[in-house]
Amino acid sequence: MAQPAEQLPRPMLPTPFRVLETWEEIPGCMSLRVEPAGTGDAAGACAFAPGQFYMIYVFGQGEVPISISGDPARTGELTFTVMAVGTVTDALCAVQPGGIIGLRGPFGSVWPVDEIEGRDVIVMGGGLGLAPLRPAVYHLLNHRDRYGDLTLLYGARQPRTILYTDQLAGWSANDSIDINVTVDNAGRDWTGKVGVVTDFLNWRRLDPDRTSALICGPEIMMRFSAYALLDRGVAAENIHISMERNMKCGVRMCGRCQYGPFFVCDDGPVFSFDRVQHLFRIREV
């Protein structure tokens, strides 16, 4: 039937972005800074909120969900931090400056940086989980006067897998945020702390009524961190975690990222802990 072409949204069609710069963060892990390849409103095309992610397409290889790791105040561009763990992420880590990748997004829920204004904030990261947290840290520091005490508790496997080391050192030096880093194991040359990230919560002064927490890392790390905070009296609704699941669409259609009643792509990835606590106890949800 001859019908006029309908103007329907095209949620699965990526937009070309140009890679401006790439650099290795830690072995096997690259950061990429990108901008829209086409003309038009670059700032609008790159507007996002901390905690959100994009589906990133490498020509002919496939598409993966990657959280934004850059500063939300830097408009007109996006930064991603990618660990090479599979076909697409291997290809993504090999893209050279000037190369073109496809983006769909931004998708998902956000770290509640506005809602937690006026409160003390504990940011807890595990491994690569620091990447999705970094836009929130940037935001907290960009608006330092709007928050109480700021703390970053970060655990990595080994000293050589600590992300953003120079930046952590810089933040640590200017006293606006209390930075604490620990590793699971290390050689003799490591003078820092060895242990799990929840160790930092022991003996730490913490006012549970005015503390909010943002947590991202492996599920087991988030579970222990969230329960450690609950033990310290922080309410579940003031603890926020970011979930990871297989995703193919980002728009509630492929069904892959289901987590109980939630679609992690759209209801998440950021959840307040009270919404998912009942699922966290169950294996293989």
| Interface with other proteins, residue 220, by CB under 8 A | no
The string of DSSP codes covering 197-259 is GGGGGTT----GGGEEEEEES-HHHHHHHHHHHHHTT--GGGEEEE-----S-SSS-S-TTEE
Shortest gap between Cβ of 44 and other proteins (angstroms)?
19
Least Å distance, CB 177 to other proteins, is 30
How many residues sit in the footprint of other proteins (CB under 8 A)?
A: 49
**Contact range with other proteins by CB under 8 A, out of 57-65, 142-150, 182-190, 204-212:** 57-65
Among 137, 234, 249, 270, binds other proteins (CB under 8 A): 249
Decide if 58 contacts 92 (C-beta within 8 A). Answer: yes
Name all contacts of 82-87 with Cβ < 8 Å and 24+ positions apart: 82/29, 82/30, 82/31, 82/32, 82/56, 83/28, 83/29, 83/128, 84/28, 84/29, 84/30, 87/61, 87/62
- Alpha-carbon distance 204 to 210, whole Å? 14
Closer of 193 and 245 to other proteins (Cβ) = 245
User: Of 78, 263, 269, 273, which lies in the binding site for other proteins, with binding defined by CB under 8 A?
Assistant: 263
Tokens 């650099």 correspond to what residue?
A: 23
What track of x and - describes contact with other proteins for positions 162 through 191 (by CB under 8 A)? ------------------------------
Judged by CB, which is closer to other proteins: 82, or 201? 82
Determine which residue in the list 43, 169, 194, 253 makes contact with other proteins, applying CB under 8 A: 253
Instruction: Tell me the C-alpha distance between 90 and 84, whole Å.
Output: 5
Helix (H, G, I), strand (E, B) or coil at 116: coil
Q: Based on CB atoms, which residue is closest to other proteins, 210 or 245?
A: 245
CA distance 253 to 240: 25
Which of 20, 33, 45, 62 is the binder for other proteins (CB under 8 A)? 62
Q: Which is nearer to other proteins, 125 or 138 (CB)?
A: 125
Cβ nearer to other proteins, comparing 98 with 187: 98
Instruction: Indicate which single residue of 28, 35, 37, 42 sits in contact with other proteins (rule: CB under 8 A).
Output: 37
Q: Which stretch binds other proteins (CB under 8 A): 53-61, 154-162, 200-208, 229-237?
A: 53-61
The bridge status of strand 258-259 relative to strand 193-194 is: unpaired
Interaction of residue 193 with other proteins, rule CB under 8 A: no
Q: Which of residues 65-94 bind other proteins (CB under 8 A)?
A: 85-86
Cα-flanking dihedrals φ and ψ of residue 36, to 5°? Answer: -60, 135
Phi-psi region of 124 (alpha: psi -120 to 50; beta: other; left: phi over 0): beta
SS3 at position 97: coil
Q: Which one of residues 25, 63, 77, 120 is an interface residue with other proteins (CB under 8 A)?
A: 63
Question: Interface residues with other proteins (CB under 8 A)?
Answer: 1, 3, 6, 8-14, 16, 18, 37, 57, 59-63, 85-86, 98-100, 102, 244-246, 248-249, 251-256, 258, 260-263, 266, 275, 278-279, 282-285
